[in-house]
Amino acid sequence: MTDATTTSSPLPDPDARARRNVWVLMIAHAFLGAQIPINIILGGLSGQVLSPDKCLATLPISALVIGSMLSTQPMSSLMQRRGRRTGFVVGAAAGALGGVLSAAGIYFGSFLLFLTGALATGVYMSAQGYYRFAATDTASEAFRPKAISYVLAGGLLAALIGPQLVKVSEAWTGPYLFAGGYLAAVGLNVIGVIVFYFLDIPKPPAARVGPAAGRDRMALLRDPKIIVAMICAMVTYALMNLVMTSTPLAVVGCGFTTGHAADIVSAHVVAMFAPSFFTGHLIARFGEKRIIAAGLVCLAGAGVTALAGVALLNFYGALILLGLGWNFGFIGATTMLAGAHSAAERGRVQGMNDFGVFGLMTVASLSSGFLMNCSGSDAEAGWAAVNIAMLPFLTFAGAALAWFALWGERRVA
């Protein structure tokens, strides 16, 4: 007979595998993710040197986003068939190729080759977009929002590594300005391939037919929770991209240095990812809708701060609020989406979501260069135009979220 005073052995942690994967994905995000700040800081500046038309200065960043948009559905399908690890390794290989081609474009003075490198890096960017979803694959429902937040927190280190690599690599390639940063990105992708060896996510089950396969795309898009989550994710990410793309051009155009631009982008990316250590806890306490709403308010505050002036303090304040708004809005929308579909529907939902996100980001990044360089008489006027352009999108996303909170949620229930 068992002694009543005997202490029972502790139950195994149901999220032990998920926590291991979160660590792997955090490290991957820290190192591989550092190439995104490199591309953001150097893309527009290199474009101004290489492009035949200054209105096309931010086209390399648009090419980065277009590459992401075009590859997000194939990447989702690849991961559905072959598993997350295979997809992430393919993404890292594409990022390394993109770094080589971008550096070669600078060396040969070829804008077309430089754009090709940005397109290839976009394939990596689409793979990075699935890190947050991979964190939920082996997580319990309770751990899911925290897993997403912790993985995105790896971007905090990326925010420090990327801009510093821009600074230290500036002298690596002599007269071929900015090429060193892209060569540094190649090394980051090599590290990533090694890190993914430790990822432990089982391959998804084979595709089924009939009811077990879940809803088709049109049925999924009729789900209010899915469509509102997608709208909020698209608007949050696109507006962040719209403003961040123009920031280095605005900072330098208003009389500051490339170093200042790198530091401001670094502060912005820190603001994007540092809150991730507690965003999941906030979502668990207050719910996704309130956190998304807080993110939209922060994005509006970023626009107001930017329009108030072009001193360094304004740039820092606007970009920090922009990063905070992205964090709350995007993690909240991702958590909402992750709880709105079955495992069988995962590939379809995540592919549609990221296709929409990168599609609107493409529009935002293309518009950013035009608004910045071709809509006013100077950098200050262009910067104002960029920030005013946020208003209709924020209004649309806020209205969609309010509709769902008041009426749409009843339809889901």
- Rounded distance between C-alpha atoms, residue 135 and residue 350, angstroms: 13
Q: How far apart are CA 38 and CA 15, in angstroms?
A: 34
Angle between helices 379-388 and 224-253 (to 10 degrees): 170
Helices 84-108, 111-128: axis angle to 10 degrees equals: 160
Q: How confident is the model at residue 286 (pLDDT cuts 50, 70, 90)?
A: very high
pLDDT digits 0-9 by tens, 232-252: 999 999 999 899 888 988 998
CA separation for the pair 81, 76 (Å, rounded)? 9
Determine how many CB atoms are found less than 10 A away from the CB of residue 204.
17
Q: CA 77 to CA 347: how far, in whole Å?
A: 7
Q: What is the DSSP string of 351-393?
A: HHHHHHHHHHHHHHHHHHHHHHHHSSSSHHHHHHHHHHTHHHH
Our CA dihedral for 22, 24, 27, 33, rounded to 10 degrees, sits at -80
Banded pLDDT at 10 (limits 50, 70, 90): low
pLDDT of 2 reads 44
How confident is the model at residue 255, as a pLDDT? Answer: 87
Structure-token pair, residue 45: 């500046």
Average pLDDT over every residue of 313-339: 92
181, 54 Cβ separation under 8 angstroms: no
State residue 368's pLDDT score.
83
Give the fold, CATH level 3, of 16-203+215-412: Growth Hormone; Chain: A; (1.20.1250)
Task: Please give the Cα distance from 143 to 229 (Å, whole number).
Answer: 19
**DSSP classification of residue 196:** G
pLDDT tens readout for residues 335-393:
888 777 776 777 778 778 878 887 888 888 778 878 887 766 688 999 999 999 999 99
Is there a contact between 144 and 134 (Cβ–Cβ < 8 Å)?
A: no
- Element (DSSP H or E) covering residue 178: none
Mean pLDDT calculated for residue range 316-326: 96
Specify the amino acid at residue 341.
Answer: H
Q: CA 93, CA 32: separation in Å to the nearest integer?
A: 11
Model pLDDT, residue 4: 45
Q: Calculate the alpha carbon distances from 334 to 49, 131, 279, 409 in Å.
A: 37, 12, 12, 17
Angle at 178 between CA 173 and CA 183, to 5 degrees: 65
Residue with tokens 């507690």: 278
Interval 69-95 mean pLDDT: 89
Q: Are 20 and 147 in contact (CB under 8 A)?
A: no
- 333 pLDDT higher than 80: yes
Q: What is the CA radius of gyration of the chain?
A: 21
User: Looking at 34-48, 92-106, 185-199, which range is the least confident one?
Assistant: 34-48
Which of 54-58, 93-97, 242-246 shows the lowest per-residue confidence on average (mean pLDDT)?
Answer: 54-58
Residue 94 has a CB neighbour count (10 Å cut-off) of 23
Which has more pLDDT, 53 or 193?
Answer: 193
State the number of CA atoms in the 13 A half-sphere of 231 facing the CB. 22
Mean pLDDT computed over 25-48: 88
pLDDT over 70, % of the chain: 92
User: Residue 374, exposed/middle/buried by CB under 10 A (0-12, 13-18, 19+)?
Assistant: middle
**What would the mean pLDDT of 84-100 be, rounded to a whole number?**
94
Range 46-74 average pLDDT: 83
Are 370 and 55 spatial neighbours (Cβ–Cβ below 8 Å)?
A: yes
Least confident piece of the model among 181-190, 282-291, 323-332, 367-376: 367-376
Confidence of residue 306 (pLDDT cuts 50, 70, 90): very high
Measured CA to CA, the distance from residue 66 to residue 122 in angstroms comes to 7
pLDDT single digits (tens) 109-160: 999 999 999 999 999 998 998 887 888 888 887 888 788 878 877 878 887 8
Residue 247 · residue 261 · CB < 8 Å: yes
| CB-based contact 324:275 (threshold 8 Å) | yes
pTM of the predicted model as reported, rounded to 2 decimal places:
0.73
**Tokens encoding 227:** 């469509």
What percent of the chain has a predicted confidence (pLDDT) above 90? 38
